[in-house]
Amino acid sequence: MKKIISVVVFSLFVGFTACSSDDDNGNCKQCANGPVSIEVCDNGDGTFSVEGGTAQKIPEGSTFENQFNAACSQIGAN
């Protein structure tokens, strides 16, 4: 039950984020867990975005791959 609530909250968060850019630079990866799927994109400037939402800075010492894995773990995928 707790996992379902987390997925719903995360989906709502992703669904209501503002679209800062619809440019597709080809550096996007997708992950899915059943019917829930997300796309995480490397913006190529030290930031990443989830589902075209607001760009978030990749923390120093981290990588896009780490951020992708963290986002996917929020929906129980990966």
Higher pLDDT, 32 or 4: 32
Structure confidence at residue 22 as a pLDDT band (50, 70, 90): low
pLDDT of residue 18: 46
Give the per-residue pLDDT at 7. Answer: 59
User: HSE on the CB side for 76, CA within 13 Å?
Assistant: 13
What's the pLDDT at 34?
Answer: 85
Q: What is the pTM (predicted TM-score) of this model?
A: 0.59
List pLDDT tens digits, range 33-76.
888 899 999 999 999 999 878 999 999 999 999 999 998 898 87
* CA distance linking residue 78 with residue 72, whole number of Å: 6
